[in-house]
Structure 1
Amino acid sequence: MKENIIIFDTTLRDGEQSLLYSLTSLQKLKIAILLEKMGIDIIEAGFPISSPEDFKSVKLISKHIKNSKICSLARCIDKDIDTAYKAMKYSYNKLFRIHLFIGTSDLHIKYKLKKNFTDILDMSVRSVLRAKKYTDDIEFSCEDAVRTKIDNLCKIIEKVIEHGVTTINIPDTVGYTIPSEFSKIINNIMNRVPNIDKAKLSVHCHNDLGMASGNSITAIQNGARQIEGTICGIGERSGNTALEEIIMTINTRKDILNFKTNINIKNIYKTSKKISQICNFKISQNKPIIGKNAFSHSSGIHQDGILKNRKNYEIISPETIGSKKRDFNLTSRSGRAAIKFCMKNMGYSKEKYDLNKLYKNFIKLADKQGRVFNYDLESLAFTKNFYKENKYFKLIYLEILKKYDNKSKILIKLKCGKEIKKMSIFYKSSFVHSTLKLLRKISKINNIKLKRFSSESKNYKKNILNKVKISISYKKLNFYGEKITSSFTKSYVLSIINVLNSIRKYKIINKNFTNSQ
């Protein structure tokens, strides 16, 4: 029978500490609701003593969350413990957890706390007894546990369990250990603490050396039954254990990990995306499980293998975590099999185009622009003068004039085939949408909407370059544009013009193809 691993989420406490700004109470409540729907067992809602806003957030979350247990952090200080209780006392069914912590390594005791180990023992016991006045669910963290002398670590664990602690947490506070070392620490605790069976053993690993997930997995293999972490691994410095990695490791490696969780894994992708939006942080493209490239395939060998059997190069299907099956990334590394597959998906049988000719032109375009999209394939397959056709819309002149009755003026001169058109528009606030409106009018390509827009500045040889990426929808299809120049405004305008050229080619090709039927 599989043993259950308790999933303890600290996105709202440890995760928030890494953000550049504080989340509001309502934002935290939204995140807590997402975590509850995902099936998180315990939500560490905050550190109530740290600020009035944090107290307010913990109180609000405690009142609204019913299916996940709420937990608050507190130092081994009376006021911290009392404040944690006051913030959670309205919890559903009055069930909540107080999470005590204190530094136990010589480094923390001497330089941070300026005490001795006997003082730490006394403070710990006194704090546990105070917390027991409010709840029987008490977690105790030995901060910097992995750099604590093992004799001292075992001694303090035994003492706090004796006085009522129900969960012992072993944090790798600075992400210092490697799995083989961490497994010995967990083994020592399991074998040397006589009353360890009276409490759950938990681990809280940081990722400074990239070992957080590995250390967490080795911990449960050696006796830990609770894992603490955050969604997307956000947290202090290099972050925490990424819970989605742990959950999917347990789910995927059932052959060697005889464990289960209460998590609804189909909610993983949606929860991660929404939390990243609320917290305003970007998920790395190659982030395991939830990154944009996690299920993407660019190599021709990989794409061919995926077409024959997805298990050749995918150990998890995107649908498992609530994501969609990803399209291939068509690049210069892609092969004929991927090109043929994409054309078939668009409804073109192999008799309607020359695959060898298409592939030759595809490689040429891929070397020039990087990623190639489906609408590019259509153009390559059915446009005789592709590169000539690609420059139908061309920017001749761009100027931004400011302070016309508190308005700014965008002036664009655009070459449209053999004709040159010049138009302008006034705007007060949104340059982005006003520019799109103006280019829509000049090009006469209507029904286009801006779906996504991003920009970033980079220093290159003492110059600042502005990169703009956009996604524009047209007739339920997404078209992509990207440009880098020294000017943000010019990069944005040129990105749109790239898209307009792609849409125009798409319209011509589909019109010709329909007429030929």
Structure 2
Amino acid sequence: MTNTAGKRLIKFNDTTARDGEQAPGISFSVEDKVALAHKLSRMGFDGMEVSFPASSPQAFEACKRVAMEVGHSMEGREHIGRPMVISALCRTLDSDIELAYEALKYAKHFRFDLFIATSDLHLEHKLGISREECLNRLRMGIRKARSYTPIVGFGAEDSSRTDLDFLVEVYSMAIEEGCHVLFFADTVGACTPEQIYDIMKHLIDNTPYDPETIWGIHAHNDLGLAVANTLAAIRAGATYVDGTMVGIGERTGNAPTEEVAMCLTMHGDHYNVYHQLDISMITEVCELVIESSGFQMAWNKPLIGRNAFRHTSGVHQRGLLKNRATYEFVHPEDIGRTSDFLILSKHSGRRALQMRLEQLGFRDLSEEQLQVLFQAFKTVADTKIEVSDQDLKQLMCDRPKPAESLVAST
């Protein structure tokens, strides 16, 4: 059991069904979102941002269904002690908040996730308002949201490109108005980990202290740094991770929650943190997202890609046959996968071939016989990406007539 004494608890909020769905070519049905919500709840997520209810009737319906069907579930959450928080994205408009309430009110715990752009670029060219008007809209939005629930979240859109002094002013006012879940949003993935750390630490150190304040990080992956930036924010004091399963999301996506969770699992002592996610469900939940979204995942995707635990190098395979820890830092079984390292290709060695043949039932090969088969195997392997079990069986059929001991056992 992990020693949690003196460590900070990192909680996870999932936005796969909302921000993830904003990826071009992806659209979840209401049933998809409900199914995902059940699994996220059992997996131990603190919260799920289901949708932006004002964007469409289907988004409203999905939020309402999840609130009703998952918003009271305690299955697999005994160690957490309460149901998952169900949230919806809202602008600071009364109409957005009122509509979201009609969907969220069925959940035991619900949250409005308010947002408004704060960078001068967005204020001038997108919203056409001043900084003062931005603050006023946010103030009114928080007050409206708090008239329904004390649990209100706020994320400054384009936080990472906002003037730092103004960003401090924005978040300070949000805290003073009673908003305690604060998301720092690297909306276009513009920052490096060093920049994220500096900004996040500055915000925490220069805004009013409230023991109930929760600082979160919402990172995008435009420069391939979403996971690194999320970890940098945690190092600076953030305790709430807003990510998506498989990292889906606009453009190049969001921080992949499964990667962040495993980084914290493997390096919890380094960051002095722990989390409550059931990592054995990672593969199951990711596969659900992939299936329902139609997302085309890269073979080399960390943890869940096809090649994440496959090896063709003879040197690697020989090491794995002796001790899997030689080339498996993460155990695939821990995240609900099986080890599949014995992939035969032109890079494979004799011991890997021998092991696979024995698994197929061909045993008691002499060294001389194995060497002859290995040369034949190499000839086939030079013409194929992978040598299949059927290829191996054909090699055994084509070899010179074997002695009785070479006949495959049944």
| Local SS of the residue matching 1:213 | helix
Bigger RCO of structures 1 and 2 (CA < 8 A, at least 6 apart): 2
1:369 aligns with 2:369: no
Please point out which of 194, 198, 205 is paired with 1:184: 198
Question: Superposition pairs for residues 45-56 of structure 1, below 5 Å?
Answer: 45-56=50-61
* Contact in 2 for aligned 1:182/1:215 (Cα 8 Å): yes
Partner of 1:132: 146
Deviations 1:289-315 (A, max 9, x none): 111111111111111111121111111
Q: Bigger shift: 27-36 or 289-298?
A: 27-36
Letter in 2 for 1:22: S
Partner of 2:248: 234
Partner of 2:14: 9
Cα displacement (A) at 1:327: 4.0
Partner of 1:122: 136
Letter in 1 for 2:12: I
Distance 2:52 2:159 in 1: 20
* Contact in 2 for aligned 1:340/1:355 (Cα 8 Å): yes
Distance 1:379 1:147 in 2: 61
Cα displacement (A) at 1:345: 2.1
Cα displacement (A) at 1:343: 1.7
Letter in 2 for 1:26: E
* Contact in 2 for aligned 1:190/1:196 (Cα 8 Å): no
| Local SS of the residue matching 2:189 | coil
Question: Superposition pairs for residues 30-69 of structure 1, below 5 Å?
Answer: 30-65=35-70, 66=73, 67-69=83-85
Please point out which of 222, 236, 246 is paired with 1:222: 236
| Local SS of the residue matching 1:297 | coil
1:89 aligns with 2:94: no
Between Structure 1 and Structure 2, the one with more strand by share is 1
Question: Superposition pairs for residues 381-392 of structure 1, below 5 Å?
Answer: 381-384=396-399
What's the TM-score, normalizing by structure 2? 0.91
Identical residues among aligned pairs (%): 35
Distance 1:185 1:242 in 2: 22
Letter in 2 for 1:55: F
Distance 1:258 1:362 in 2: 50
1:112 aligns with 2:131: no
Cα displacement (A) at 1:348: 2.6
1:147 aligns with 2:161: yes
Runs of 4+ in 1 over 6 A off after TM superposition: none
Please point out which of 368, 375, 378 is paired with 1:360: 375
Partner of 2:80: none
Q: CA separation of 1:11/1:124 partners in 2, compared to 1, >3 Å: closer, same or farther?
A: same
Partner of 1:433: none
Letter in 2 for 1:97: R
| Local SS of the residue matching 2:270 | coil
Distance 1:256 1:42 in 2: 25
Distance 2:305 2:365 in 1: 37
Partner of 1:72: 88
Partner of 1:22: 27
* Contact in 2 for aligned 1:168/1:201 (Cα 8 Å): yes
Cα displacement (A) at 1:362: 0.9
Query: Over the residues paired in the alignment, what is the CA RMSD in angstroms?
Result: 1.9
Distance 2:194 2:27 in 1: 37
Letter in 2 for 1:82: E
1:296 aligns with 2:298: no
Cα displacement (A) at 1:344: 2.3
1:263 aligns with 2:277: yes
What's the TM-score, normalizing by structure 1? 0.73
Partner of 1:425: none
Partner of 1:513: 407
* Contact in 1 for aligned 2:317/2:341 (Cα 8 Å): no
Cα displacement (A) at 1:34: 1.9
* Contact in 2 for aligned 1:104/1:153 (Cα 8 Å): yes
* Contact in 1 for aligned 2:26/2:294 (Cα 8 Å): no
List gaps (5 residues or longer) in structure 1: 387-509
| Local SS of the residue matching 1:227 | strand
| Local SS of the residue matching 1:86 | helix
Cα displacement (A) at 1:380: 1.5
| Local SS of the residue matching 1:369 | coil
1:99 aligns with 2:113: yes
Cα displacement (A) at 1:385: 8.1
| Local SS of the residue matching 1:5 | strand
Partner of 2:286: 272
| Local SS of the residue matching 2:365 | helix
* Contact in 2 for aligned 1:19/1:279 (Cα 8 Å): no
Distance 1:253 1:21 in 2: 33
Cα displacement (A) at 1:197: 4.1
| Local SS of the residue matching 1:160 | helix
Distance 2:194 2:332 in 1: 31
Q: CA separation of 1:246/1:346 partners in 2, compared to 1, >3 Å: closer, same or farther?
A: same
Partner of 2:176: 162
| Local SS of the residue matching 1:13 | coil
List gaps (5 residues or longer) in structure 2: 74-82
Partner of 1:496: none
Partner of 2:266: 252
